[in-house]
Each structure stands twice: as C-alpha cells, then as structure tokens.
Amino acid sequence: MENSQHATLQVSELSCFRDERLLFSALDFSVNAGQVLLLEGANGSGKTSLLRILCGFREADAGQIYWCGNKISESSYFQDMAYVGHADGTKKELTVLENLNFALALGAPGKYSIEQALDKVMLAGFDDNPVHTLSAGQKRRLSLARLLITHNLLWILDEPFTSLDRQGIKLIESLIAAHIEQGGMAVLTSHHDLSMADLNLQRIHLQACQ
C-alpha cells in the first residue's frame, strides 16, 4: 500500500459519454489523504458513471486517473481502493460470517476483526444469519463492515446511506469520519446532506453537458 501521508488521487481531463450523450468533459480534481470528495448532481448527471470509472469497471472516453503520481494501472491503486455500490455486494445464500470471511480472503486485514466490525455496524449476534434473512438496512451495514475488516486507503461509496434509518446514518458518518482521521480518503455520492462539520470535505457538482 502506498504511504497514506502522501497518497493522492488525481483525475485529469476526464470525459464520459453514455448512449452518445456527453455526461461530463475535461473533469479535473484531486483528493488527498484525510479528505472526502462528495459528488453532487441530479440523476443522470454522471455521478455513478464517474465512480464506475474510478473503480475500473469502465474506461473513460478521455482523460487519465493517477494514484500517487502514477497511472492507476501502474500502481497499487486497485489494492488500496474499496468500493461499495448500490447493490450490497454480498452473497445472499451465505451467512453474515461467511460473507465477511470471503471478503477478508480477498484483501489485506484491516484494523478491525470480524467480531469488532460486526459490533461497530450493530450486527453483533447475526454471524450465522443467512444474508437473505436480513433487512435492507442490515444488508447495507454488512456491506460497509467489509470496509472495516480490510485495509484500504481509498473508499469509493455510491449512496452509502441508502436504506438506513437515522441511527444507521449517524453510524456510517462516524465510520467515514474515523477513516478520514486515520489518514484515509473517500469519494462518495449521496442525497443525504453530510452533517460532519469537522470533515475535510470538498464538493463537485456534476451537470450533464447535453
């Protein structure tokens, strides 16, 4: 993993089309360790498309992404990044514990054990529950527990507060704040107005070009 104190995500001249419609063009921004980037904009403005490009799920139509000064394909970027999208990313037929063991097998261990992570996301005691028996909010918290058990500097989160009640929202805000305080960074979309006043937060408002 890159040295977190000097880690930087830099996007240069990024452009994206979808169905022959230009979503954004010549987009430039950077995120440093200890910062959060909040992507704002109406539905269809390209927020999720940008996150998918950052995750490597699709290529940009123009531009480049750099991690710590190197192209992401020539760096440790994909080992240093974790993504939670609209889908929970869990295997419904497996138990909570089996899902987290599977996630841990794919990445380096993080700060929290599985037991500690489940306690943090208020799923203690659900270890042996099949995921398909969980509520929507519990499934969302399980997907976020994966971030705690693996060591990833950059969190990319697409609407992380979806399906969460007020208590769950406060919980996720606290997890993001703790990650940032420990030198991590995050890029996220959210219709929820972040209430973390002390957060080193920058905003980019996307608006489809045509």
Domain 4-205, CATH: 3.40.50.300
pLDDT in tens, 7-65: 899 999 999 998 888 999 999 999 999 999 999 988 888 999 999 999 999 999 999 99
Question: Once rounded to an integer, what is the mean pLDDT over residues 95-118?
Answer: 91
Measured in degrees and rounded to the nearest 5, phi and psi for residue 54 equal: -65, -30
Question: Once rounded to an integer, what is the mean pLDDT over residues 176-202?
Answer: 85
Q: Is the pLDDT of residue 6 over 90?
A: no
Name the helix (H) or strand (E) containing 136: helix 136-149
Q: Is the pLDDT of residue 126 over 50?
A: yes
Q: Residue 1 — pLDDT band, cuts 50, 70, 90?
A: very low
Question: Residue 22 has what pLDDT?
Answer: 92
Question: Residue 109 has what pLDDT?
Answer: 87
Question: Residue 195 has what pLDDT?
Answer: 65
Extract the runs of DSSP E, i.e. beta strands, from the chain. 8-18, 21-32, 36-40, 62-67, 70-71, 81-84, 154-158, 185-189, 201-205
Query: Which string of b and e fits 95-111 if b means at least 16 CB within 10 Å?
Result: bbebbbeebbeeeeebe
Question: Once rounded to an integer, what is the mean pLDDT over residues 102-109?
Answer: 85
Q: Is the pLDDT of residue 177 over 70?
A: yes
Question: Residue 89 has what pLDDT?
Answer: 78
| Average confidence score pLDDT of the chain | 90
AA letter at 2: E
Least confident interval from 53-67, 72-86, 191-205: 191-205
Question: Residue 5 has what pLDDT?
Answer: 60
User: Which own/partner contact pairs does 160-169 have at CB distance under 8 Å and 24+ positions apart?
Assistant: 160/84, 160/188, 160/190, 161/190, 161/191, 161/192, 162/86, 163/135, 163/136, 163/137, 163/139, 164/137, 164/140, 165/137, 167/122, 168/122, 168/137, 168/140, 168/141
Domain-wise residue ranges, the chain:
4-205
Measured in degrees and rounded to the nearest 5, phi and psi for residue 38 equal: -105, 120
Question: Once rounded to an integer, what is the mean pLDDT over residues 129-150?
Answer: 93
pTM of structure: 0.89
